[in-house]
Every structure is written in C-alpha cells, then in structure tokens.
Amino acid sequence: MILIKVLNCKFQDRPNQNTTFVIWKDEYAPLTEEEVDEAWILANFSRIKPRNVTQQKNTTVKIEARRK
C-alpha cells in the first residue's frame, strides 16, 4: 500500500485541488513497492487515479507513506 498526495489536480470538477489516495499492490504489480516513485505514478496516473480526480498540466505527486 502506498499513500499518495496529489497537488494541483482537478478533484470533483474543481481545479487546483489537493487530494490524497491509496494505491494497492495489484495496481502497480509486477513492480515492487520500492520501484514505484513519483515519476512512475505521474506516467501511470490515468490508470491508478480515483474516478473523480483528473490530472492538470501542473499536477505533482508526493509519496506520503509506504506500508507492507
């Protein structure tokens, strides 16, 4: 489980919002938890994001916590 904070995203159709969500092992398999970084999350954002979150041009992500 990886806890992610997303900055400057469109959340529930409101621009420039911040939100936090969790991705689980089956969403980033076959990679290990240590191989998942901010660049990988942004590259795969459309696949792992919740339904009501949309990426903007200035969206950034930060990994808050990793738990096994």
pLDDT band at residue 38 under the 50/70/90 scheme: very high
pLDDT at 45 over 90: yes
Under 8 Å between Cβ of 2 and 33: yes
pLDDT at 68 over 90: no
**pTM exceeding the 0.75 threshold for the entire prediction:** yes
Under 8 Å between Cβ of 62 and 38: yes
pLDDT band at residue 64 under the 50/70/90 scheme: very high
CA angle 60, 63, 68 (to 5 degrees): 150
